[in-house]
């Protein structure tokens, strides 16, 4: 949103009809100005009166009105500007601000016009409406107004969207919209969030917190799906005097269906692509006291090399570790579960659980899996009594569908 003030707007007065080669008394001249006035509030009309020879142009009984008063200041940015006419039809409504025109549409009967977008903060708008009455007499009205100014840091909320525009993701990837300020009116914002896909798939929004909302399909995405996400929240009220700062969009695609089935009891990972078993990999998972979570996890991010320090996840004492170069690491939870190369535990892989919660495998197997994988691929872990928390990463799939739908502010 920008608040550049345009040059002052001047509304020209009505042209007075005048007789050629005749002296018109002042009182007679005043009598030629019958009809509506543009002074005062946003109601009333003003006829365009071109110069004539020997007679005043006809006045009009039609009245053009706006839902914003002429000269108003501090107009709320979530106002939908409207114009209407009585006893006539509108032909055009032009609204201009420093960023260009504000588009809109006439109603089917020509008596009303509605803007297609909301307003920018701290901005002066100039409006010109033109129409004709039932007798065909032209009528017009012009005015200007200014919107309220908003503080960018405290009164404007900015949305961010994942997946990123152009990204290819796995079938478990949720749509994530995050906000840099808390959203108090979730319903108002959610009405302006949309997800469309080809092929179409049923899905729902689910609020994780006041600053984060997810959308996922009822079942995993179909491979090859094309998805468009729109957060059309510019100037939309987020509650508490806060408004959307900008519209955002993202177009992404869904890749092959990669589903990795981890069994902590058999110490094996089965790697499936589009339903076909590619490999079975020997692994190790969390030992007693550091049990790996069971449930549906989704790959959040990938690192060819990552330092892993146990102090960052609250592990100290005799169990502390600090490994500078853990290779082929893929994060599964915010709390620190990864799939990664663990050459130090190859002797236990396929036989015992000896990790601090991560799923470890040989360097060669980790590299092969890393190259196959992308953000959004699914890891289904079984064999432990420690459940995956829905908010600990992209844990949307651990919420039943009925409960997930109820997480919408519009449910």
CB atoms within 10 A of CB 146: 18
Cα separations (Å) of 121 from 124, 152, 249, 356? 9, 10, 21, 52
The CA radius of gyration of the chain, in Å to the nearest whole number, is: 32
CA dihedral 41, 44, 48, 53 (to 10 degrees): -120
**Residue carrying structure tokens 């032009």:** 94
Indicate if 340 belongs to the active site: yes
Among candidate residues 206, 267, 340, 356, the one labeled active-site is: 340
Instruction: Identify any residues that bridge with 147 across adjacent strands, giving them in sequence order.
Output: 75
For the chain, how many helices (H) and strands (E)?
A: 4, 28
Cα separations (Å) of 379 from 15, 88, 187, 209, 326? 76, 65, 32, 24, 20
Q: Is 51 exposed, middle or buried (0-12, 13-18, 19+ CB in 10 A)?
A: exposed
Close Cβ partners of 256 (under 8 Å, ≥ 6 residues apart): 223, 273, 274
Q: What angle do CA 151, 152, 156 make, to 5 degrees?
A: 95
Indicate if 214 belongs to the active site: no
Q: Is 377 exposed, middle or buried (0-12, 13-18, 19+ CB in 10 A)?
A: buried
What is the set of active-site residues?
340, 358
């Amino acid at each position: 949103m920008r608040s550049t003030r345009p040059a002052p707007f001047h509304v020209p007065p009505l042209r007075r009809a005048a007789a050629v080669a005749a002296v018109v008394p002042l009182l007679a001249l005043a009598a030629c100005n019958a009809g509506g006035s543009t002074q005062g509030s946003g109601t009333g009309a003003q006829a365009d009166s071109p110069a004539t020879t020997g007679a005043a142009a006809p006045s009009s009984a039609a009245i053009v009105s706006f839902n914003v008063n002429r000269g108003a200041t501090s107009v709320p940015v979530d106002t939908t500007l409207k114009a209407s006419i009585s006893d006539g039809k509108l032909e055009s409504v032009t609204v201009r601000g420093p960023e260009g025109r504000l588009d809109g549409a006439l109603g089917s009967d020509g008596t009303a016009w509605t803007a297609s977008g909301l307003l920018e903060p701290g901005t002066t708008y100039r409006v010109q409406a033109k129409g004709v009455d039932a007798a065909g007499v032209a009528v017009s009205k012009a005015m200007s107004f200014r919107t309220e100014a908003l503080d960018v840091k405290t009164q404007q909320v900015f949305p961010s969207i994942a997946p990123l525009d152009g990204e290819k993701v796995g079938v478990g990837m949720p749509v994530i919209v995050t906000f840099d300020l808390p959203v108090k009116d979730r319903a108002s914002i959610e009405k302006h969030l949309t997800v469309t896909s080809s092929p179409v798939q049923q899905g729902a929004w689910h609020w994780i917190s006041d600053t984060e909302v997810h959308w996922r399909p009822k079942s995993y995405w179909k491979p090859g799906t094309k998805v468009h996400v729109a957060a059309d929240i510019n100037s939309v009220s987020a509650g508490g005097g806060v408004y959307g700062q900008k519209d955002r969009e993202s177009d992404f695609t869904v890749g092959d269906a990669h589903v990795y089935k981890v069994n902590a009891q058999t110490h094996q990972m089965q790697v499936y692509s589009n339903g076909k078993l590619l490999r079975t990999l020997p692994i190790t998972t969390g030992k007693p006291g550091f049990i790996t979570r069971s449930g549906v996890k989704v790959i959040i991010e990938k690192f060819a090399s990552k330092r892993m320090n146990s102090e960052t996840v609250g592990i100290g004492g005799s169990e502390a570790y600090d490994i500078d170069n853990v290779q082929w690491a893929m994060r599964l939870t915010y709390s620190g579960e990864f799939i990664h190369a663990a050459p130090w535990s190859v002797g236990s892989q396929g036989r015992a659980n000896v990790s601090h919660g991560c799923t470890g495998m040989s360097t060669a197997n980790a590299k092969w899996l890393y190259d196959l994988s992308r953000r959004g691929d699914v890891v289904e872990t079984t064999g432990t009594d420690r459940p995956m928390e829905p908010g600990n990463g992209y844990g949307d799939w651990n919420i039943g569908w009925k409960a997930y739908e109820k997480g919408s502010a519009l449910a």
